Amino acid sequence: MDGTLYVVATPIGNLDEMSPRAILVLKSVKMIACEDTRETLKLCNRFDIDTPLMSCHEHNEYFVADKIVEILKRGDDVALVSDAGYPGISDPGNVVVNRCIEHRIKVAVVSGPCALINGLVGSGMDAQHFLFYGFLDHKQGERKKELIELTKIKNTIIFYEAPHRINESLEDMLEILGDRQIVIARELTKKFEEYLRGSISEIMTKIKAKPIKGEMVIIVEGAKPEPAVSYSDVEVLEMVNSYIQQGMSTSDAIKEVASVTKIKKNEIYHKFHQN
């Protein structure tokens, strides 16, 4: 029998949020694959976990994934953790999970803290439908391209951002997305946990006056639906006649006006021929 890969969520700041099940799993497995052995060692020392550690980060994940599969194929269990939160969410982990799935090895997830969920729920913004984007590109040109692709998303959008890039990211958001309402959640579950709420411009003013530290979750309101434009019968008929005068057939002119006004072609057809 193959072993099981346990994907274990770990505290995002407050170590008291480490679950009894997570501790039990980390103590029982043959090996713990972790993003940074130094960070995971602190966690292990806190909960008297003496399981051997194996480094598994973005630069060696493909190589280590094969090593983990070898261990699992021998029938031993392995735990996969990142420095904080869920492996695979803006952290290494997906490669290992997918390699195990390819080899038909059981993958079990041990629930725990998640910064994006904490930030979203505490923000007060719409949590029924949302898009988690993660980190924007660190290069401004690419970052702006990413934001342009998100301009029409109507759902709440969640980003992660580092403190040294927060001002630049907010400037680009203001330029591309407009002055939307946002919430910045930082130092989540820690002593100095804080939620900053307001428009992008208001938040920019606050943090320029008093710089903030710590990993951040940025929750941005979705795009507001564009107000419907109403057209009178006279305006619709004038548009149809204008296209006809430009050389269009009546059918094509009605089709073009329907596309512009979002009025059904049949309605425009009847208005035109009743005139």
Task: Report the DSSP pairing between strands 53-55 and 31-34.
Answer: parallel
Burial of 201 (0-12, 13-18, 19+ CB in 10 A): middle
Residues 227-274 pLDDT 10s: 767 888 889 899 999 999 999 999 999 999 998 888 889 989 888 888
Residue 48 has pLDDT above 70, yes or no: yes
Q: How many domains does the chain have?
A: 3
176 and 269 co-located in one domain: no
Residues 124 and 204 reside in one and the same domain: yes
Q: What is the model's pLDDT at position 121?
A: 97
- Please report, for the domain that includes residue 145, its CATH number: 3.30.950.10
pLDDT at 226: 72
CATH value at residue 76: 3.40.1010.10
Query: Which residue has tokens 């003496």?
Result: 50
Amino acid identity at 147: L
Are 28 and 20 within 8 A, CB to CB? no
Please report whether residue 226 resides in a domain: no
The pLDDT of residue 269 is 86
Indicate if 49 and 18 belong to the same structural domain: yes
Q: What's the mean per-residue pLDDT of the chain?
A: 94
pLDDT digit string, tens, across residues 141-190: 999 999 999 999 999 999 999 999 999 999 999 999 999 999 999 999 99
> Could you tell me if residue 88 is inside a domain?
yes
Q: Looking at the domain assignment, is residue 228 inside a domain?
A: no
Domain assignment of residue 102, yes or no: yes
131 and 35, same domain (yes or no): no
Q: What is the pLDDT of residue 228?
A: 67
pLDDT over 80 at 95, yes or no: yes
d(CA 62, CA 71): 15
Say if residue 109 is in the same domain as residue 120.
no
Among 17-26, 99-108, 176-185, 230-239, the range scoring the smallest mean pLDDT is: 230-239
Of all residues in the chain, the percent with pLDDT exceeding 70 is 99
Please answer whether residues 80 and 7 qualify as being in contact, where contact means their C-beta atoms are separated by less than 8 angstroms. yes
From the CB of residue 203, how many other CB atoms can be counted at a distance below 10 Å?
22
- Provide the pairing of β-strand 156-161 with 181-186: unpaired
Longest dimension (CA), the chain: 86
Do 156 and 183 contact (CB within 8 A), yes or no? no
Q: Are 13 and 190 in contact (CB under 8 A)?
A: yes
Residues 8 and 103 in one domain: yes
Token pair listed for 75:
């029938």
Segment 206-231 mean pLDDT: 89
Cα four-point dihedral sign 225, 197, 160, 112: negative
Same domain, 176 and 215: yes
**Does a structural domain hold residue 35?**
yes
Residues spanned by the domain of 127: 116-220
**φ, ψ at 261 (rounded to 5°):** -90, -15
Q: What is the mean pLDDT of residues 51-64?
A: 95
- Domain end, chosen from 94, 113, 132, is at 113
